[in-house]
């Protein structure tokens, strides 16, 4: 794979994953932090791109706002189930939390029996974390698959030490397409950075549309460009031309 290229602030739009891209993966998802100078750099980039910067994450937008304060930015949260289409805009939700109540109930006995598994409830998605209990990975995958069985409206997706269930028909690629249809992104060339399996949907869409798809880390990817790790991402953000 090739080294990630420079980009043009007049013609490109930048989409960034959060965990594993802007911040390191950690055992406690609530314990991540981004240095103030890195947040300031993102603000500068957003201004240089005339607002065409979005964070595209499995996290809730409310959590992204807390981690990135005082940055004001467009965002897709919970893999696109939450949207803030432009900086300063309202957060929209594409489904209600109650749709996942049967899954919550089905997971409860396993969570009671296996306290080392951690359930992250995002309202519109449920994530089982097993980073601190890798021996329970198959248990987590099986119980999530069983809990969602028969639900054509749901999809189960494996990630980095997680297994997640959320509504079908929505992923980061679809979220990116929707952003690109509206200002300030419309008419620009998309650039996407992401590290995980869930980012491959967006990396594929970007590649197909003639944009710049950049994989972070060593995992196999559709993306033709590569950055080594989170530190390399921040170095690239400093030298990428915006």
Give 177-193 pLDDT, tens digit per residue: 999 999 999 999 999 99
Distances in whole angstroms, Cα of residue 97 to Cα of each of 82, 136, 166, 167, 204: 12, 26, 10, 11, 29
Catalytic residue, chosen from 17, 65, 171, 195, is 17
Q: What is the pLDDT of residue 221?
A: 96
Answer yes or no: CATH 3.30.70.1020 is held by domain 97-167. Answer: yes
What is the 8-class DSSP label of residue 90?
P
Per-residue tens of pLDDT for the chain, all 242 residues: 688 889 999 999 999 999 999 999 988 888 899 999 999 999 999 999 999 999 999 899 999 999 999 999 999 998 888 999 989 889 988 777 888 999 999 999 999 999 999 999 988 889 999 988 999 999 999 999 999 998 988 889 888 899 999 888 778 999 999 999 999 999 999 999 999 988 999 999 999 999 999 999 999 999 999 999 999 999 999 999 89
Domain definitions of the chain by residue range: 2-94+170-239, 97-167
Spatial CA neighbour of 221 closest among 194, 239, 189, 183: 194
Q: What is the pLDDT of residue 1?
A: 66
Q: Is 238 a catalytic residue?
A: no
The angle at the Cα of 72, spanning 68 to 73, to the nearest 5 degrees, equals 90
What DSSP element (H or E) covers 192? strand 189-194
Q: What is the pLDDT of residue 83?
A: 93
Compute the distance between CA of residue 231 and CA of residue 207 in angstroms, rounded to an integer: 24
Q: Span 2-94+170-239: which CATH code?
A: 3.40.50.1000
Q: What is the pLDDT of residue 147?
A: 94
């Amino acid at each position: 794979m090739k080294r990630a290229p420079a980009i043009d602030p007049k013609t490109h739009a930048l989409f960034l994953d959060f965990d594993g891209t802007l911040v390191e993966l950690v055992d406690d998802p609530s314990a991540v932090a981004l240095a103030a100078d890195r947040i300031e750099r993102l603000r500068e980039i957003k201004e240089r791109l005339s607002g065409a910067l979005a964070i595209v994450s499995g996290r809730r937008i409310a959590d992204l706002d807390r981690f990135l304060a005082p940055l004001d930015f467009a965002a897709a949260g919970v893999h696109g189930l939450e949207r803030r289409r432009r900086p300063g805009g309202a957060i929209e939700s594409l489904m209600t939390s109650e749709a996942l109540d049967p899954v919550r109930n089905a997971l409860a006995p396993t969570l009671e029996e296996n306290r080392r598994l951690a359930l992250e409830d995002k309202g519109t998605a449920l994530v089982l974390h097993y980073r601190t209990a890798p021996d329970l990975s198959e248990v987590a995958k099986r119980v999530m698959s069983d809990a969602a069985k028969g639900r054509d409206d749901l999809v189960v997706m494996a990630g980095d030490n997680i297994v997640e269930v959320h509504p079908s028909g929505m992923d980061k690629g679809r979220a990116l397409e929707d952003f690109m249809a509206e200002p300030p992104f419309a008419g620009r060339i998309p650039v996407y950075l992401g590290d995980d399996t869930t980012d491959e949907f967006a990396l594929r869409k970007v590649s197909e549309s003639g944009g710049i798809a950049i994989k972070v880390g060593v995992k196999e990817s559709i993306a033709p460009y590569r950055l080594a790790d989170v530190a390399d991402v921040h170095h690239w953000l400093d030298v990428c031309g915006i």
